[in-house]
Structure 1
Amino acid sequence: MSVTAMTHWTPDDIPDQTGRTALITGGNSGIGLETARALARHGARVILAGRSGTKLDRAAEAVRAATPGARADTLVLDLSDLSSVRDAATRVAETETVDLLLNNAGVMNLPERRTTRDGFEMTVGTNHLGHFAFDAQVWPAVRRSSAPRVVTVSAAAARWRMGGLDDLMSEKGYRGMSAYARSKRANVVYTIELARRTANSPLKALVVHPGAAMTGLQRHGSGALSRVVTTVAARLLMGSAEGAAWPSLYAATSPQARSGQFIGPAGRDQTSGTPKPAKLPQGAGDPEEGRRLWAASEQLTGIPFDPGAESAL
């Protein structure tokens, strides 16, 4: 046995974030709220983005209650509606500097195929296209930061074979978990391509997966029995939202985190060790797949996005 006790990274190791602003989609609950709490505890101003103003206000108050003096603001944003995305992004882009942009919000396992207001399959439309459109339009605020980071929350489901990007809108057939896996693969491919396109800038783009945790996504089971089974399994097998936030927090703040990495938990027990680079889904780092998804995302949303256009990010 070693005389020296082994130590590992924890959120207590987050460097001082005073003077930095973090914008977190899905910041009113689950991983997003836990991420906001930790960043605020280390001095960051946090902007919590989500669909419900009431829930956002409640979450911001929880952040302030946990850390007296914390700065927590809110931003109403519906990622399934490009007009809402445009309005929210414009408000931020005109006035803010965003040092940490955390693409965290998402939906999972919708029981039947639904579409967004703009006609996209709901899961991919929210989890990927909504974030792509938001990032593109909020980019002036990211560009103002001297050391910006973009962290996108994916999932281990990104590795599932059913999640190929050839049928992005699930037009050939719909299964809830297939659409979820597809959206999570898109999160990985998008982030790796973003890292590639900003390689000559100070920006770091990382993608994370939180492991298994009960965060609120599981509420979309395909029936009452499915939800009961998921809840029981969650209590037995899944970690907490607090532990699930560790990869996001590490990617957003650690000096050791590098652009283009896919960061996951140390193990099933999410708080048992330092978050670490995970194996990419097969082919997700292929530049050609990245270019195809980027072009498709621009075409579907109607929003061009050239993150490397400004040399001084």
Structure 2
Amino acid sequence: MPSTPSVPHTPPWDVHRLPPAAGKTFLVTGGNAGIGYFVAEQLAGTGATVVLGSRDPARAGAAIASIGARVPGAAVRHVTLDLADPASPRACVDALGLDRLDAVVHNAGVALDHPPRRETADGHELMFATNHLGHFALTHHLAPLLAAAPGSRVVTTGSFAAKSERLDLDDLQSRHDYRPKRAYARSKLAQMLFALELDRRLRAAGSTTLSVLVHPGVSVLVHPGGALDSLTPSRPPVHVRTAGARLSRLPLRLAVQGKDAAAWPAARAVLDPAVGGGLMLGPRVFGLRGAPRVEPLWEHLADTTTAARLWAASCGLTGVEPAFR
């Protein structure tokens, strides 16, 4: 059985009193909506510069305005990023205009509920391409910026949905027996295996960059959106919650939490100096809700053979390989 990782003894992590990070720059993919929005808002509150990577400039602008209303003086900007477009990760990194980056949060993703199977313009299954391959390529292009910032972090968002899944290395693109929820779960499992394989490669290279895995704990529900939205505080126009919806969903707080709290593991993974590479952070209470803590790795996440084969396949499908010096 995998061992339970631990972090050095430090004062309890306070999700409401994050450490200052002025002078640092963080990129959050999909930071214009959902959990990613709250990751960006929380990081902006530390004094750091936060860059939202998303496809839609209008939605990003609304998110930036909302964060500015909550965090006076927030330094937030947008770069265009479409993870389903193989040319976009490189263009995004060029548009950053940075010589160093302190952390990237791989948060953006797509989940399809119903057939038919959809492909990107270059023929990859949409969820696998967006959730995994796009972030794999983005990490490659960000590597020089991350390597220039000592102690930088690559934070990858996994999912509870991946806990019961296994990869089919002979059908990573779900061309056979396509089932949308399974394809989504496998794409998230691929992300999680990538994060841990990246950690092994970073350590082997002697890099100071850390690869940390998080999961928000919410995707254990089959259709979490409505419930989670009703538990999520309003951030108009990004998210508006009615009083009726809030009251009707109060009993759910015993089992799940809103998207603001679901962002806590990623914020801690970026900011906590006690968090090391190769760890997984998730909600404290049954992995579903509560303050973030370090969790034992699920047994199949320790499968280094599958992770290495996935890495090799991802290199072939993207034409790039993340490498740090």
Please report the TM-score for the alignment, with normalisation by the length of structure 2: 0.82
Report whether the alignment pairs 1:255 with 2:258.
no
TM-fit CA distance, 1:133? 0.7
CA apart distance, 1:271: 5.8
Number of matched residues? 288
Out of 150, 153, 160, the position equivalent to 1:156 is: 160
Does residue 299 (structure 1) correspond to residue 305 (structure 2)? The answer is no
Whichever residue aligns with residue 203 of structure 1, its letter is: T
Q: Which residue of 1 aligns with 2:111?
A: 108
Aligned twin of 1:229: none
Asked if the contact 1:163/1:178 (under 8 Å) is kept, the reply is no
> What is the CA–CA distance in structure 1 between the aligned matches of 2:208 and 2:17, rounded to whole Å?
22
CA RMSD of aligned residues (A): 2.5
Per-residue CA deviation, residues 35-89 of structure 1 (Å, 9 max, x unaligned), is 1111111111000011101001111111122111111010111101112222112
Determine if contact 1:103/1:151 at 8 Å carries over to the other structure.
yes
Q: Which residue of 2 aligns with 1:239?
A: 257
Deviation at 1:268, TM superposition (A): 5.2
Q: Distance in 2 between matches of 1:196 and 1:269?
A: 25
How many angstroms apart in 2 are the aligned matches of 1:26 and 1:234?
27
Contact 2:159 2:219 in 1 (8 A): no
**8 Å contact 2:28–2:106 — kept in the other structure?**
yes
Counterpart in the other structure of 2:147: 143
1:280 aligns with 2:297: yes
Question: Counterpart in 1 of 2:59?
Answer: 55
Q: Which residue of 1 aligns with 2:210?
A: 204
- Aligned partners of 2:84 and 2:120 also within 8 Å: yes
CA distance in 2, matches of 1:302, 1:160: 30
Q: Which residue of 1 aligns with 2:237?
A: none
Identical columns (%): 36
TM-score (norm: length of structure 1): 0.85
> 2 CA distance for matches of 1:219 and 1:266?
21
Task: Give the aligned partner of residue 32 of structure 2.
Answer: 28
SS in 1 for 2:284: coil
Q: Is the 8 A contact 2:147 2:207 kept in 1?
A: no
Deviates most, 128-137 or 61-70: 61-70
d(CA) in 2 for partners of 1:179, 1:235: 31
Q: Does 71-80 or 108-117 show the bigger shift?
A: 108-117
Matching residue of 2:100: 97
Matches within 5 A, 1:125-136: 125-136=129-140
